[in-house]
Amino acid sequence: MKNLTLLICIICLMAPVAFAQDMEHEPWTCPEGYEGQTLSIFNWSTYIAEDTVPNFEAACGVSVNYDIYESNEQMLARIRQGNPGYDIIVPSGGTVQRMAEEMLLIPLDLAMIPNVANVIPDLLGAAYDPENMYSLPYQWGTVGVGYSTEVFPDGISSWDQVWEHDGPVAWLDDRQTMLGIAHLFLGNDPNTTDADEINAARDYLIEKGGNVVTVAADDGQVLLERGDVDIAVEYNGDILQISWDCECDDYAYAIPEEGSNVWIDNLSIPVDAPNPELAMVFIDYILDAKVGADLTNYIWYASPNQASIESGYIDEEILNDPAIFPPAEQVANLFAIIDVGAEAEELINNAWDELLIFLGA
Amino acid sequence: MSDRLRRLQQNGSLLALPTVAWLVIFFVLPLLIVLVVSFMTRGRGGVGQLPFTPEHYERTFGVFFIILQRSIGLAALTTVVCLLVGYPLAFFIATRRRLVQQIALFLVILPFWTNFLIRTYAWRILLGEEGTINGILTGLGLVGEPLSLLNTQFAVLLGLVYGFLSFMVLPIFASVERFNFRYVDAAHDLGANDVRTFLRVVLPLTLPGVLAGCALVFIPSVGAFVTPDLLGGTKGLMIGNLINKQFGGSGNMPLGSALSIVMMALVMISLLVYVFANRRDARA
């Protein structure tokens, strides 16, 4: 009798698991032949779930070295000096392009990565890597406006509200993003390399920036929190963070309807990687519906994985947050930053310096 | 005896060798590199490459000119305010009893115990829209709307004066302390009133301290970048901020070098003014 109770309990406990597996998803299985091998991952800090790596090690019978960095430049500098032995890196869009041009990336063999089919089609073929020859999306986010809900009870839906606001505003010190937004208004390509268009965008921003009190490096959310600005142009994660911290509705994040910048961090394989085959197996693993969902549920960034989203593995709370997952009609208006080359880079830098000077003049 | 002296002199120059080597390797050579780079063309990633060009200097004196002007203006104003506040304070301290002097000097140096960055961040909290100062002012009903204090040139001036006031007080204190107050009695005896005594006797004799203080305040103020970065926003941008930007991720190192050279020239000019004023003063 006692044994029977125990058995029922075990069945009850296992049922949801079995059900979930039956539903549609086979757990990811590792291709054979990698037992005993080693994979070295170089990723941003606090950017992976606790069990992502251990589960991979168990599935493939491999061991993983895991190392972290804080910025694209830091990672780029390490690889430029000669890859110290990493198989996987996570560069942002523009950095993928720069590294590809400098021959620092190994082309992906998409045949080894069947889960590429899980990726949201709109996030494939980005301008920085049109054929996805070197990169596949890891997580993504946006630049938008964080605002005080007290000042804007009806929310913000247009950049015009930012330009015309009678009160202090902070912009993000991200030259390509800010000029790109101006390009959208002027009907130009956000990544244009044309000198006249870049200068026109500069003039547009100078004209609209009368209410800008500071062009913040990456602390606009703090200014918003302190009440020093009513609007801060920022990365979505930063604004979400102050909302979670205060557990209040005082701040909100919106992507204005005209469009904005979308950034994608990508999985890539650096040149001279000791084990590129296993790296591609790892990319396939990350792009699995369940693995990708577990990752997103842990780090609260937007998943590029359609299958993760559709399978219901991602928490409702995250999926329904338009600040993390913007609705499809907004995604269509987002632009990615590409590496524009040295010449346009200088034009953009000059325009940005001039903008900073004239905003305060 | 003369042998010993010669040997001592030889050893003396040998003793200076590490310092000279240090200065050549870590100061003179880098300075020359900066000078060369400032004439190069910007290459990929912001580094300098050939051919040589004067364009960065043209930009420095072109679009960047108003920022140069603002930097000099703010640094000069900082120096004047520090002098107006610092001179009476130094005079007060120098004329107290020994114990009071020591306590007062200790208090002047006390802020240095806290990191400058932290103290500047503290001003952000004090000056903010919902900050301490606005809280008190609106609480007392002195102002209806909170004042915009942060992200203004006023905030930068305040931060600079706060940061560099001690550099003005200490050298003036040293001068006043050495001043022989019997000269004041003599001036009075000879019929000079207080104002005349101060202008003709006290001020000239404490001028070395004043000049040293002005140089010590003006030079770091003109190149300041933390203070304008944290307190100035768009309105208080200074030359140090623009130089800082040129050396980041995708900046422009040749332009940054040219801006640095111009700033060094400014500092050099103010030092020369200091040296000449001092020399004339010594002769007088």
Task: Check whether A43 has a pLDDT greater than 50.
Answer: yes
CA distance A140 to chain B (A): 21
**Is B64 in CB contact (< 8 Å) with chain A?**
yes
- Location of structure tokens 């694209």: A72
Residue A73's pLDDT is what? 74
Q: Three-state DSSP class for A10?
A: helix
CA torsion sign, A172 to A174 to A177 to A183? positive
- Of A57, A53, A43, which is closest to residue A270 (Cα–Cα)? A43
Retrieve residue B58's tokens.
């043209």
The CATH code belonging to domain A26-140+263-326 is 3.40.190.10
Q: Is the dihedral of CA B222, B224, B225, B227 positive or negative?
A: negative
pTM of the prediction?
Answer: 0.77
**Amino acid code (one letter) for B12:** G
Residue B2: pLDDT over 70? no
pLDDT band of residue B280 (cuts 50, 70, 90) is confident
Amino acid at position B282, single letter: A
ipTM of the complex: 0.81
Is A90's pLDDT higher than 70? Answer: yes
Of B67, B232, B252, the CB nearest to A349: B252
Domain range A141-262+334-359, CATH class: alpha beta
The CATH class of the B63-283 domain is mainly alpha
- A170-213 tens-digit pLDDT: 999 888 899 999 999 999 999 999 999 999 999 999 999 999 99
From the list B148, B235, B250, which residue is nearest A345 (CB)? B250
Q: Which residues of A touch B (CB under 8 A)?
A: 71-73, 168, 209, 212-215, 226-228, 341-342, 345-346, 349-350, 353-354, 356-357, 359-361
- Please report, for residues A91, A331, A352, B135, B244, the alpha-carbon distance to residue B250 in angstroms, rounded to integers and kept in the order given: 16, 28, 12, 41, 12
Q: From chain B, pick out residues whose CB is under 8 angstroms from the CB of A342.
A: 42-45
Q: Do A350 and B59 touch (CB under 8 A)?
A: yes
Interface test with A, best of B41, B44, B63, B132 (most A CBs within 10 A): B44
User: What's the rounded Cα separation, in Å, for the pair B233 and A189?
Assistant: 29
pLDDT tens-digit profile of B220-246? 999 999 999 999 988 899 999 889 888
CA neighbor of A233 nearest in space, from A287, A163, A289: A163
Domain residue spans in chain B?
Answer: 63-283
Nearest to B235 among A345, A350, A360 (CB): A360
- Per DSSP, which regions of A77-229 are E strands? 88-89, 136-148, 169-172, 212-216
Q: DSSP letter string over B215-282?
A: HHHHHHHHT--HHIIIIITTTT--HHHHHHHHTSTT--HHHHHHHHHHHHHHHHHHHHHHHHHHHHHH
Which string of DSSP letters, residue by residue, matches A253-318? EE--TT--BEEEEEEB-BTT-S-HHHHHHHHHHHTSHHHHHHHHHHH--B--BHHHHHTT-S-HHH
pLDDT of residue A283: 96
Phi then psi dihedrals of residue A147, to 5 deg: -145, 160
